[in-house]
Amino acid sequence: MEGAITVPHSAALEQGDVFLDVPILDAFDIDGEAQFRLIAGPAILLTHGCAMDKPVRDTSRPKIEYLSFARLRTTDDLTVDRKQLLRNNQVTPYEVMYLGRIRPVGECYFSLHETYSVPAFHFDLTLIEHAGQRSAAPQRNDTRVATISVAQRSILTSKLHGFWTREVPASDALA
């Protein structure tokens, strides 16, 4: 699967896991007034694995209280130029990342402008041994369909750094 953007997910939660149904606070406009509703939809996990593997005292429960997500969007409403920019799959622009085709959603991307948190208890997390390390795994509401590849996770790390700090990551300065 060399060059793949997404790959099958593991038993453990990993940064870049793609979920089909996660609670999302949807905002929309009615006559110039912001309206909100809670919906379930596709999203990507942004929380890093090292934030999810710490136990509560001597239990099998992770200490983490919230998981960070970004809502997935399809490329359907984007201009041809914007789609091509995303498909180039570069570190810049920092605020968006292309994920390719996610079944059954379609051709997807996400924006770091649309990040939000979901309480960890929504997933009833437990700690498991995975690949020789302690990792969090969901026992409930696990609607994952994929995760991003190792190469894509590296791009995501650079995008997160650039987006939140507005500093050019060292690896980008060399490119």
pTM: 0.91
* CA–CA distance, 73 with 78 (Å, rounded to integer): 10
pLDDT at 174: 43
pLDDT at 166: 85
pLDDT at 169: 65
**DSSP code, position 47:** S
pLDDT tens, N- to C-terminus, the chain (175 residues):
446 799 999 999 999 999 999 999 999 999 999 999 999 999 999 999 889 988 888 788 999 999 999 999 999 999 999 999 999 999 999 999 999 999 999 999 999 999 999 999 999 999 999 888 899 999 999 999 999 999 999 999 999 999 999 887 665 544 4
User: 16-25 burial, b for 16+ CB within 10 Å, e for fewer?
Assistant: bbbbbebbbe
pLDDT at 67: 97
- Give the residue carrying structure tokens 């998981």: 67
Q: Which domains does the chain have, with CATH numbers?
A: 6-168 (2.30.30.110)
| Backbone phi and psi for residue 90, each to the nearest 5 degrees, phi listed first | -105, 170
Alpha carbon of residue 7 to chain centroid: 14
